[in-house]
Amino acid sequence: MARFSFFRKLTAPGSLLGEAFLENSDGCAGSRRCILGSTVTTGLITTMTAGVYFTGLLLAMGASESYIGYTTAITSFSGLFQLLTPLLLERFPRRKSILLMAKIVYHFLNIIVIGVLPILPIATPLKLVLFMVTLIALNAINHIATPGISAWQMQSLPLEKRGHFYTVSNTGVAVLNKISAFLAGILLDRFEADGTSAFGISPTLTAILLIRAGALVCAVLECCFYAKTKEFPYETASDNTPAGGLRLLALPLADKRFMKTISLPVFWGFVVGIVGAYFNIYLLEEVHMSYSLISLGGFISMPVALLSTPLWYKAMRKFTWPKLLTVTLLGNAFSYFCNPFITSSTLFIYFFCIVCGTFFDVCLNVINSNLVYLHMPKANRTAYFSLFSILKLLGTFLGNYTGILFIQLTGSFRFTLFGFSLGNKQYISLLSSALFVALAIWTFSFSRNKEYNTRIV
């Protein structure tokens, strides 16, 4: 009985789950559940095809550190293709079928083509060229479709449901991603230890291809969730001519409140982008951490994410978002400051940083997910989403490029801090830490303006 009582309390009116996914006064509770399903599967696909497994794939192909850095930068720079989104989509009152087809093509390129390229019997330089071309194409398709999908999903996420939805979805996605990353890491390490291979390819590539097969299953499920999500007619601009479309692109620039609010996640993307893939390269190549050990940190931090979610939810109901975001950014600054001191003999610092970062990321991700909506009008939302995504990805690209220049300029320069000899792939995190502190100070200034100093839940 206690078990059923707990479930009723969890889904009762006013509760997180009840408000986000069960209360159906707007007739969109089913769509919100489908959006949650697509969000979860998207996260799983990203976990299995990006991050440390993407870096591992490139290293297994024989890619250099500079090439890996440029792939990260190109991914962000491809976001400029979102300039085309309002021109292509804003004139259509219905876009579901177009967006669904774009996702299918994206998954084909991202999961199948990218996965098959490393095992083709062609020279490595040609493989790397084809890899980069495919990467640009798939990111262009994804970036064009993403603002349209956001505007579509926003129809089923009214303001009073949004905070509840993102609190649940961000935590749920984070937990499932950590589980999948941990299991994938165990699989990859087991293949490498046993020398298991197929089709004459290395054990590492064999395991990565098997992981991508799991991503393909998730992609099919994601498309099914998209197909079941409701779509309503959009409020489109009265002027659908090419010139009118071009004016749509500049429309959000005149909205001072919107632009000031999104400046925070844009700069956040810049700071995170500086480190890019270099930290993963450092863990794999210099600390010699296994894939499963890297993923174990996320697995251990799951209870932290689950237990801290209700605490942050209460805090978001009590305090305004600028104050909470300031605290979480300072927490991130501390985690990045500790990263350079991770060595083979101080692995406990790695796990501490993961747990600490997870605790603060629960709140940070909810706030970041909501900032774009705070001052967005109902009409021409695709244009607003496009500009936000473009600026955020441009910020990340500039961060990636800053990281590339930093690594190239510092070269083999090392220095000692607190008794640790630090190389450039270590002390680059100190730069990000300092910038997180600067961003926290900028964020706190928003709390002095009543127009921005509001709660998101």
What HEC string does 338-381 produce?
Answer: HHHHCCCCCHHHHHHHHHHHHHHHHHHHHHHHHHHHHCCCCCCH
Distance in angstroms (rounded) separating the CA atoms of residues 114 and 135: 8
Give the position of tokens 């001519």.
241
Per DSSP, 11 falls in state T
Task: Give the per-residue pLDDT at 193.
Answer: 78
Mean pLDDT value of segment 89-115: 88
Whether residue 138 is predicted with pLDDT greater than 50 in this model: the reply is yes
Which comes out higher in pLDDT, residue 416 or 198?
A: 416
Q: Position 242: which residue type?
A: P
Whether residue 258 is predicted with pLDDT greater than 60 in this model: the reply is yes
**Structure tokens that stand for 65 in this block:** 């550190």
Which comes out higher in pLDDT, residue 370 or 433?
A: 433
Mean pLDDT value of segment 26-39: 85
Phi/psi at 404 (5° precision): -60, -50
What is the chain's alpha carbon radius of gyration, rounded to the nearest angstrom? 22
Helix-strand-coil percent breakdown of the chain, rounded to 5? 80, 0, 20
Using pLDDT thresholds of 50, 70 and 90, give the confidence band for residue 20: low
* Residue 47 maps to a domain: yes
Model-wide pTM > 0.85 = no
Please write the tens of the pLDDT for every residue from 221-246. Answer: 999 999 999 888 776 555 444 445 55
Whether residue 300 is predicted with pLDDT greater than 70 in this model: the reply is yes
Contact by Cβ (8 Å): 115, 208: yes
* Residue 2 maps to a domain: no
Evaluated on CA atoms 223, 226, 228, 232, the torsion sign reads negative
Q: How many domains does the chain have?
A: 1
* Residue 32 maps to a domain: yes
Using pLDDT thresholds of 50, 70 and 90, give the confidence band for residue 393: confident
Please write the tens of the pLDDT for every residue from 325-353. Answer: 999 999 999 999 999 999 888 989 988 99
Length of the chain (residues): 457
Whether residue 195 is predicted with pLDDT greater than 50 in this model: the reply is yes
Using pLDDT thresholds of 50, 70 and 90, give the confidence band for residue 16: low
Using pLDDT thresholds of 50, 70 and 90, give the confidence band for residue 101: very high
- Bridge partners of 417, per DSSP, are 420
Give the dihedral of Cα atoms 100, 103, 108, 114; nearest 10 deg.
180
* Residue 435 maps to a domain: yes
Using pLDDT thresholds of 50, 70 and 90, give the confidence band for residue 376: confident
Task: Give the per-residue pLDDT at 439.
Answer: 93
> Among candidates 327, 347, 326, which has minimal Cα distance to 338?
347
Phi/psi at 13 (5° precision): -55, 135
* Residue 455 maps to a domain: no
> Among candidates 140, 182, 223, 143, which has minimal Cα distance to 53?
182
Distance in angstroms (rounded) separating the CA atoms of residues 401 and 420: 27
**Structure tokens that stand for 152 in this block:** 């579509």
Task: Give the per-residue pLDDT at 267.
Answer: 92
* Residue 453 maps to a domain: no
Task: Give the per-residue pLDDT at 440.
Answer: 94
Task: Give the per-residue pLDDT at 370.
Answer: 83
* Residue 19 maps to a domain: no
State which of 81-90, 174-183, 206-215 shows the largest mean pLDDT: 206-215
Mean pLDDT value of segment 353-357: 89
Distance in angstroms (rounded) separating the CA atoms of residues 298 and 300: 5
Range list of H helices, 238-338:
242-250, 256-275, 278-281, 291-300, 302-318, 321-338
Question: Pairing mode, if any, of strands 420-422 and 415-417?
Answer: antiparallel
Please write the tens of the pLDDT for every residue from 41-98. Answer: 998 998 888 877 888 888 888 888 778 878 877 777 777 777 777 677 767 778 888 9
Please state, rounded to an integer, the average pLDDT across all residues of the chain.
82
CATH number at 394 reads 1.20.1250.20
Task: Give the per-residue pLDDT at 1.
Answer: 47
Domain that holds residue 442: 27-448
Contact by Cβ (8 Å): 285, 398: no
Please write the tens of the pLDDT for every residue from 259-297. Answer: 888 889 999 989 988 887 788 888 888 888 887 787 787
Task: Give the per-residue pLDDT at 6.
Answer: 45
DSSP, collapsed to helix, strand or coil, labels residue 276 as: coil
Contact by Cβ (8 Å): 218, 45: yes
Task: Give the per-residue pLDDT at 107.
Answer: 95
* Residue 44 maps to a domain: yes
Render 81-113 in DSSP notation, one character per residue: GGGGHHHHHTT-S--HHHHHHHHHHHHIIIIII
Using pLDDT thresholds of 50, 70 and 90, give the confidence band for residue 390: confident
Task: Give the per-residue pLDDT at 7.
Answer: 46
